A and B are shown apart, each in its own frame.
Chain A
Amino acid sequence: MASLKALKIRINSVKSTQKITKAMKMVAAAKLRRATEAAEASRPYAERLEAVVSSIASKVTVGPQSPKLLAGSGNSDVHLFVVATSDKGLAGAFNTNIVRLARRQAEALKAEGKTVKFYTIGKKGRDQLSRTFRGDIIHSIEPGDLGKLTYADVQAWGEDLTARFEAGEFDVAHLFFSKFENVLTQTPTQIQLMPVAVAAGEGDAMGVSATVEYEPDEEEILADLLPRNVAVQLLRANRENAASEQGSKMTAMDNATRNAGDMINKLTIQYNRTRQAAITTELIEIIAGAEAL
């Protein structure tokens, strides 16, 4: 059995761990509130833009002169997976869940004989993916604190991705991120980033009648809006990720704090037993000594 001193040291070390995890939980809770607010604040723009894009896109007939972001390259051989994760761990299975979904989809596509390339956002995603797909990662970004990400940052990534798409580096791009449902649930999600997926017939449902005047014409507006749509989707994904990360971190740290509490209880009981056993032994020794006289 461990000595009293060793137990005491052990208890103290678990106690300080508990203090740290408790503090991290509080920090995550505060950041979570800010992150969800930011995610909600960016929603109106994304919704409006999506409505406008799909209403115009449903009117334009896709032809060779259409923007590539709408029409696509005509093939679907090379897929690009934009995997958005965070730079830091200690957030439960947050990063792993996103990577797992991406890996499963990648393996399914590879089994069909397609090529899959990766474009990673976040250190954790890059590290985990490079174990199996080292040669397929074409670019990786380290976004730093997801909560502080601005539209300007994301815009640069969007431009880079659009340029690569125009250059024909890939035919289809998918975006992977974790959708924030609530503190307990974050769902890894996949959406198609390029070419733009247009829900057919949605234009009329938006109440946009045929009498809308376009300045300049539909095609030019579309060419202007589509690259912007890419950036907005990226921003949305990262905002959702920021909220998910903090939610996941909060749950993980809450569990860790509770585990530490359980461990302290167990160790304290063990400590007391050992102490009592030592006292009993001492008493027996004294009594035995007295009787011997």
Chain B
Amino acid sequence: MALRFELVTPEKLYRSDDVYMVVVPGSEGDFGVLEGHSPMMSTLRNDAALEIYASQGATPERVIIAGGFAEVNENGLTVLAERVEA
């Protein structure tokens, strides 16, 4: 049960790996993405944190992003962000 997660900035592919869950700060509310999530697209809030859970119950890793956009499709979750602050 792994979710393919990619975080891309205009300058580079910031991160690409398999994780358990990502909580995405959507502009109309946070949503968690697990494997098999239905396809969706959403803009993201500025300067909000992505919470990346590497495995179930693990402490989330927080990544602050700005100017983001999330796309969920059958291949996993792709987050396009203009800026990333680890």
Contacts and interface: CB of A to CB of B under 8 A. Distances in A.
Contacts of B69: 52, 221, 224-225
Contacts of B38: 211, 213
A213 B69 CA distance: 14
A213 B28 contact: no
Contacts of A212: 39-41, 73
Interface of A: 38, 41-42, 44-46, 48-49, 52, 56, 150-151, 155, 207-209, 211-216, 220-221, 224-225, 228, 231-232, 235
B43 A213 contact: no
Contact of A216 (B10, B27, B39): B27
B43 A48 contact: no
Given A41-B11, A52-B71, A224-B69, A215 B43 contact: yes
Which 10 pairs show the lowest CB-CB distances between chains A and B? A213-B40, A215-B42, A41-B12, A151-B10, A212-B39, A45-B8, A45-B10, A44-B13, A215-B28, A224-B43
27 contacts: A41-B11, A41-B12, A41-B13, A42-B11, A42-B12, A44-B6, A45-B13, A45-B80, A48-B78, A52-B80, A56-B41, A150-B11, A151-B10, A151-B11, A155-B82, A207-B74, A209-B39, A213-B41, A214-B42, A215-B26, A215-B40, A216-B42, A221-B42, A221-B43, A224-B43, A224-B69, A235-B10
B60 interface: no
A42 B10 contact: yes
B39 A221 contact: no
Contacts, number: 76
Interface of B: 6, 8-13, 26-28, 38-43, 67, 69, 71, 73-74, 78, 80, 82-83
Contact of A215 (B6, B8, B41, B80): B41
Contacts of A215: 26-28, 40-43
A225 to B, nearest CB: 7
B6 to A, nearest CB: 8
A221 B28 CA distance: 12
Contact of A48 (B8, B26, B39): B8
Given A208-B39, A213-B39, A214-B40, 6 more contacts: A48-B80, A212-B39, A213-B40, A215-B41, A221-B69, A225-B69
Contacts of B40: 212-215
A38 B9 CA distance: 12
Contact of B73 (A38, A46, A207, A224): A207
Nearest to B40: A213
B5 to A, nearest CB: 14
A56 to B, nearest CB: 7
A232 B41 contact: no
A110 to B, nearest CB: 34
B29 to A, nearest CB: 8
